Structure 1
Amino acid sequence: MKSELSRALTHRHVQMIAIGGAIGTGLFLGSGSAIQKAGPAIILAYLIAGLFCFFMMRAIGELILSDLNKTSFIEFVREYLGVRWEFIVGWTYWLCWESLAMADLTASGIYLRYWFPNLPQWVTALVIVLLLLAFNLLSVGAFGELESWFSSIKVLAILALIVTGLFLLVVKANVGGHQVVLANLVNYGGFFPQGIGGLMAAFPMVIFAFTGIEMVGLTSGETANPKADLPRAINTLPLRIGLFYVGSMFVLMCIYPWNQITTSSSPFVQVFSGIGIKMAAGIINFVVLTAALSACNSAIFSTSRTVFVLANNQQASVKLAKINNRSVPVNALIFSAGTLFLAVVLNYFLPAVIFEVISGVATVSFVFVWIILLVCHYRYKCQHQNQDGIFLMPFFPASDIVTISFFLLVLVLLAFAQSTLMSLAFAVLWFIALAVLQKLIVGRKHEIR
């Protein structure tokens, strides 16, 4: 008999988890390098990527609502692609979040040194992992509440930037020796200063900013009213993307010439510092720390639920399917949190370049998982052509085909960048290793049964 999770996440929790998944450190820190590649066209890059992420989320939403007895989108991979693909996708998704959290957890120690220069980095990592594990062990509601607060801080920071930028635009203020005007969108080489090639080169970093957006799909098994809450969370995605990504990039491009935004610090810090807010660096440092903690919190939740589903389906040790009296998968949580801390310990001994590769692996893996979920949705639709489902995917089948093609293009673009080529190669080796492992261990177990 399968263990069952508690449906304790409220509508507010689901909405804030969806918002938090759409705002990561990629926006606060990574947007600088994306701007250098594309110039003002970065606005278009976020708009295009956001559109395809919305279609991907609509596909996941229709899949999940087609069978609420399944607790995760990983189970749909089993149904429509088979046991081997469930194993590969499940453990790849686990790797996605573990590697992302590993980088963010390590970075948290660096962020805290801004206020506590002598604080050892390993102490920060240990305290954060233990605190987040404790919150997650309390109940899924405690996780939802903590993630809601993290998301609120990130949202307030972006809204502050947008409101400030629009005010500066209206009064045509002078910031850093430059007037804040709409013409800044085209005054420095045009809207496409680096050409279409620059726009294409920015997509991998833009996609990295969206990683984690699918996590709301993991909450279905623990949501009080998934039929109402999930569609609402997914349908508001275009508004969130338009406001947080397109809106923030628009005001940034109007405030500063794109070619003067550096990659060494957050564009947000540059804007607030240019305005004359002396505490800008400290404020943004706090927001980025919050984003990193949010990523770690989400990682512990998502990896534990993924392992829980795999264990229930005999793709991992059955001990990892154990739940406590509050319906929390306690062993899966401890396993994922423990692995996360081990990764931070490894960070102490291994060169930093290893973690750059792992961050790239996370991006490749997320895109891979998204493509597989879209394939599952396509197969589901083909098998249920004459059924009226809930939350239907718009423009099917064209939307599935075009979205899959876009994400495949992103993987091709990753192969052309030297910094991500190694990550792509590692990810391919990871997939092959999982396929072999599934055949040797899990496949043999099923044959015996």
Structure 2
Amino acid sequence: MEEPQQQRGLQNRHIQLIAIAGTIGTGLFLGAGKTIKMSGPSIIFAYIIIGIAMFFFLRAIGELLYRDPTQHSFLNFVTKYAGVRTGYFTQWSYWLVIIFVCISELSAIGTYIQFWLPQVPLWLIEIVMLILLFGLNTLNARFFGETEFWFAMIKVAAILGMIATAIILGFGHFSYTTVLSGKSVTGSVSLSNIFTHFQFFPNGVWNYVGALQMVMFAFTSMEFIGMTAAETVNPRKSLPKAINQIPVRILLFYVGALLAIMAIFDWHYIPADKSPFVMVFELIGIKWAAALVNFVVLTSAASALNSSLFSATRNMYSLSKQHDKGRLTPFTKLSKAGIPINALYMAVILSLFAPVLTLIPQIKNAFDFAASCTTNLFLVVYFITLYSFWQYRKSADFDKNGFLTPKAKLTIPFVTFIFALVFLSLFFNSDTFYPAVGAVVWTIAFGLFSRFKKI
């Protein structure tokens, strides 16, 4: 009998729309409320600045992938230009990052479902949803691509619908009276809600700095855009186009959505623990529409979790084939559908930390805690990637006629500074302090292990 083979069933339409929707995540749908509450309208500048930094970071990844399209992941360049041991550390760290993404997205899913089932415990909701998505991931890759395609369609439609709603209500001079954050609020939809009595740091500089983590979380995983573009038939044609469209996506999806939210109602009354997307429709009195939007953001989180389980499974499979053969060989086992089934089991088991977090009284918000862990480990990987990029620039492989990063001698230090600022901001917030310390401990401990391990 023939051995099962890992399946590659994604089509170009799957890759392109998943790449577009990859700029929209739970960090925007759920985290926007907290960032607006902490920083007010000026949080838009944080999205723009961090968005610019991510654009140049992706241009650096794009330059590497354009030089060698046979490499399907930017992590391979870390091994090539920063050394085998650094590559080992980075590959396993990135896998752990994806596991934390699974945990954070599962926490978000529980929050959304409690909109309909407030009496059901979060931990129970999360376990049931994880079982369902595990079932989806046992099917072939083509089914995964089709599921993600429609999830992506829903996410894009949600953002465009939000912006269109704000425009229509604004031109119609829509007024309302509602209860927000326990207070009766009367207002009208207008851009003046954003600019009246504008202050850059309405709640202090440290609150603004503390909000940077959630903004960064909204952008993490954008490197998937470069990697998915590299999987197309002609990567040297699709890669520059996909990455260069990112500024437009940032302006439309992030800045456009935030402007729409804050134009509809006074940002002072937006609660930090509730999705503004749901609140918009509650404000105008359409209860069923609020439920619909809650379904949209639920599908967004389910999409992110589905993608993360898919990615964590494939990463574990790849790492098990590369390293520690014998001990990790069981994780290379494929199901009849070509799915690395044991690697999937491992990803699901580790994702069960989400319901565990909800039961720990010291953790006030499981989503914030997991998102913080995700952000700081992503940043560790990003720092190493930037170092590897500079090593490539110094090597004989550097192609002066390739898809070059604009003004790299200026833009890459700018990216490094912004990432470092975000990382340091994690130490000045009680919700993110311990995850930040954990990232430092992981980097030192696993870094030393990787340094002295026989590879």
TM superposition score category, shorter chain reference: 0.7 to 0.9
Matching of residue 287 in structure 1 with residue 296 in structure 2:
yes
Corresponding residue for residue 237 of structure 1: 246
Matching of residue 375 in structure 1 with residue 387 in structure 2:
yes
Q: Which has the higher helix share?
A: 1
Corresponding residue for residue 67 of structure 1: 68
Corresponding residue for residue 307 of structure 1: 316
Q: Deviations over 1:276-298 (max 9, x none)?
A: 22224312321221122112112
Q: How much does 1:127 deviate?
A: 4.4
Q: How much does 1:138 deviate?
A: 3.0
Corresponding residue for residue 422 of structure 1: 434
One-letter amino acid of the structure 1 residue matched with residue 409 of structure 2: P
SS of residue paired to 1:391 = coil
Corresponding residue for residue 145 of structure 1: 146
1:227 is matched with which residue: 225, 236, 250?
A: 236
The answer on whether the counterparts of 2:124 and 2:355 sit within 8 Å (CA) in structure 1 is: no
SS of residue paired to 1:419 = coil
One-letter amino acid of the structure 1 residue matched with residue 389 of structure 2: H
Q: So what's the TM-score if we normalise by structure 1?
A: 0.88
Corresponding residue for residue 94 of structure 2: 93
For 1:324-335, list aligned pairs within 5 A: 328-335=339-346
Matching of residue 338 in structure 1 with residue 360 in structure 2:
no
One-letter amino acid of the structure 2 residue matched with residue 295 of structure 1: A
Corresponding residue for residue 182 of structure 2: none
Q: How much does 1:81 deviate?
A: 1.3
The answer on whether the counterparts of 2:27 and 2:217 sit within 8 Å (CA) in structure 1 is: yes
The answer on whether the counterparts of 2:93 and 2:377 sit within 8 Å (CA) in structure 1 is: yes
Q: How much does 1:380 deviate?
A: 1.2
Query: Once the two structures are aligned, what percentage of the paired residues are identical?
Result: 38
One-letter amino acid of the structure 2 residue matched with residue 45 of structure 1: A
1:408 is matched with which residue: 392, 415, 420?
A: 420
Deviates more, 1:219-228 or 1:98-107: 219-228
SS of residue paired to 2:408 = coil
Distance 1:214 1:285 in 2: 27
Q: How much does 1:248 deviate?
A: 0.9
Corresponding residue for residue 250 of structure 1: 259
Q: How much does 1:384 deviate?
A: 4.2
The answer on whether the counterparts of 2:65 and 2:230 sit within 8 Å (CA) in structure 1 is: no
Corresponding residue for residue 266 of structure 1: 275
Q: How much does 1:39 deviate?
A: 1.3
Matching of residue 200 in structure 1 with residue 209 in structure 2:
yes
SS of residue paired to 1:145 = helix
Corresponding residue for residue 17 of structure 1: 18
C-alpha spacing 1:32/1:55, structure 2 compared with 1 (3 Å): same
One-letter amino acid of the structure 2 residue matched with residue 254 of structure 1: A
The answer on whether the counterparts of 1:8 and 1:222 sit within 8 Å (CA) in structure 2 is: no
Q: CA RMSD in A?
A: 2.8
C-alpha spacing 1:308/1:96, structure 2 compared with 1 (3 Å): same
Q: How much does 1:107 deviate?
A: 3.9
Distance 1:302 1:332 in 2: 10
C-alpha spacing 1:411/1:219, structure 2 compared with 1 (3 Å): same
Consecutive unaligned residues of structure 2, counting only runs of 5 or more, are 178-185
One-letter amino acid of the structure 2 residue matched with residue 104 of structure 1: E
Corresponding residue for residue 78 of structure 1: 79
Distance 1:19 1:339 in 2: 28
Corresponding residue for residue 374 of structure 2: 362
SS of residue paired to 1:418 = coil
Q: Deviations over 1:252-277 (max 9, x none)?
A: 22222221222132222222222222
Q: How much does 1:385 deviate?
A: 7.2
Q: How much does 1:31 deviate?
A: 1.1
The answer on whether the counterparts of 1:175 and 1:274 sit within 8 Å (CA) in structure 2 is: yes
C-alpha spacing 1:219/1:308, structure 2 compared with 1 (3 Å): farther
C-alpha spacing 1:93/1:426, structure 2 compared with 1 (3 Å): same
Distance 1:57 1:330 in 2: 31
Q: How much does 1:234 deviate?
A: 2.0
The answer on whether the counterparts of 1:181 and 1:254 sit within 8 Å (CA) in structure 2 is: yes
Q: Deviations over 1:8-56 (max 9, x none)?
A: 4333222222233211111112111211222111121111111111111
Corresponding residue for residue 180 of structure 2: none
Distance 2:73 2:335 in 1: 19
Corresponding residue for residue 43 of structure 2: 42
Matching of residue 353 in structure 1 with residue 358 in structure 2:
no
The answer on whether the counterparts of 1:300 and 1:336 sit within 8 Å (CA) in structure 2 is: yes
Deviates more, 1:239-248 or 1:384-393: 384-393
Consecutive unaligned residues of structure 1, counting only runs of 5 or more, are none
The answer on whether the counterparts of 2:392 and 2:398 sit within 8 Å (CA) in structure 1 is: no
Q: How much does 1:192 deviate?
A: 5.1
Q: How much does 1:411 deviate?
A: 0.9
The answer on whether the counterparts of 2:280 and 2:290 sit within 8 Å (CA) in structure 1 is: no
Corresponding residue pairs, total:
440
One-letter amino acid of the structure 2 residue matched with residue 392 of structure 1: L
Deviates more, 1:19-28 or 1:400-409: 19-28
Corresponding residue for residue 51 of structure 1: 52
C-alpha spacing 1:36/1:16, structure 2 compared with 1 (3 Å): same
Q: How much does 1:197 deviate?
A: 5.5
Q: How much does 1:73 deviate?
A: 1.7
Distance 2:229 2:336 in 1: 20
C-alpha spacing 1:32/1:172, structure 2 compared with 1 (3 Å): same
Distance 1:190 1:117 in 2: 36
Q: Deviations over 1:220-276 (max 9, x none)?
A: 675444333333322221111111110011122222222122213222222222222
The answer on whether the counterparts of 1:361 and 1:423 sit within 8 Å (CA) in structure 2 is: yes
